[in-house]
Chains A and B, each alone.
Chain A
Amino acid sequence: MRQHRLALCKDHYPQWFIEQTQRFIEKYRMFTHQDRILVAVSGGKDSLALWDVLWQLGYEAEGLYINLGIGGEFAYSDESQQAAQKFADQRRLKLHIYHVEERRGESVPAIALRTHRGRQKPCAVCGLIKRHTMNQMARQLGFSVLATAHNLDDEVSFLFGNLLSWNLRQIPRQSPVLEAEEGFVRKVKPFIRFSERETAAYSIVRGIEYIEEECPFAEGSKQLQYKDLLNRLEEQQPGVKLRFLLGFFNAMEQGFIHPIEDEQGEVILNPCPSCGQPTSTGDLCATCRLFEEN
Chain B
Amino acid sequence: MPVVLIYRKQKLEVEGTLTVREALQKLGLSPESHLIVRNGELLNENDILRNGEEVKVISAISGGAR
Contacts and interface: CB of A to CB of B under 8 A. Distances in A.
Contact of B30 (A126, A204, A231): A231
Nearest to A9: B44
B60 A221 contact: no
B30 A235 contact: yes
Main secondary structure of the interface of A (DSSP, over half): helix
Interface string A190-214: 0000011101110011010000101
A44 B60 contact: no
A135 to B, nearest CB: 14
B61 A201 contact: no
Main secondary structure of the interface of B (DSSP, over half): loop
B17 interface: no
A223 interface: yes
A214 B32 contact: no
Interface stretch (A52-60, A139-147, A150-158, A283-291): A150-158
B44 A215 contact: no
B34 to A, nearest CB: 8
Nearest to A207: B40
A224 B63 contact: yes
A218 interface: yes
Contact of A7 (B41, B42, B44, B63): B44
B37 interface: yes
Interface residues of A, number: 38
Contacts of B35: 197, 200-201, 204
A124 interface: yes
Contacts of B34: 197
A10 interface: yes
Given A196-B61, A204-B37, A204-B42, A234 B32 contact: yes
Interface string A220-257: 01011001100110110000000000000000000000
A142 to B, nearest CB: 25
Nearest to B46: A7
Contacts of B66: 127, 131, 150, 154, 158
A27 B7 CA distance: 38
B4 to A, nearest CB: 18
20 contacts: A123-B65, A130-B65, A153-B61, A154-B66, A197-B32, A199-B60, A200-B35, A200-B58, A201-B35, A201-B42, A215-B64, A218-B62, A221-B63, A223-B64, A224-B61, A227-B61, A227-B63, A228-B30, A231-B61, A235-B30
